[in-house]
Amino acid sequence: MAAKTSIKKKSKSKVSRRANRRWLFITLFAAYLGTSAYLLFATGDSLPQYKKMGFVMQIATYLKVLPDKVLHAALFVPIIPLAWAAVKPKYAITKILLLWSGLLFGALTEIVQHYLPYRTGDIADLAADVVGSVLGIPFLLIFIFLTENK
């Protein structure tokens, strides 16, 4: 009888850890979306000045793009891995939507920016958002590998 009790306790604690980990990823994803929305919709005066960020300027110079595009790409790297970890998709359609989440969120933010009087929507920003999302896929693959091999 004691052996059955310890097995039940172990399985309950494992389920509890999974639930806690899921809530952690949901919280991280919500914080990410909030921070992204702030950075994407705030006025230019309230944003960090990328001219003071030497590393961003070096990457932009090397890639021959504007520093703004580097920041857009960097901002969108975590969207797919965080969305995947928060949702834990089981169905193919959900997985497909999550893989397209960078494009969808990027398009939505650019449409909103188009209607804000102090921002402009830009197709090049959307392209940088998609590039950042694609750069996040290797992190998604690592996450899947680590979580499914437990």
Q: Between these two residues, 109 and 53, which has the higher pLDDT value?
A: 109
Q: Does residue 15 register a pLDDT over 70?
A: no
pLDDT at 110: 94
Residues 6 or more apart whose CB falls under 8 angstroms from that of 126 comprise 103, 106, 107, 110
Do the beta carbons of residue 80 and residue 99 sit within 8 Å?
yes
pLDDT for 19-28, tens place per residue?
788 899 999 9
The answer to whether residue 95 scores a pLDDT higher than 80 is yes
pLDDT at 6: 52
To the nearest whole percent, how much of the chain has pLDDT over 70? 84
Please give the average per-residue pLDDT across 62-71, as a whole number: 86
Task: Determine which of 26-30, 53-57, 59-63 has the lowest per-residue pLDDT on average.
Answer: 53-57
> Rounded mean pLDDT of 132-148?
93
Q: How far apart are CA 17 and CA 11, in angstroms?
A: 10
pLDDT band at 68 (very low <50, low <70, confident <90, very high): confident
Alpha helices (H) in the chain, listed in sequence order: 2-41, 54-63, 67-76, 79-87, 92-99, 101-115, 123-148
Residue 47: C-alpha distances to residues 31, 58, 64, 147 (Å): 17, 20, 23, 36
Residues 6+ apart with CB under 8 A from 6: none
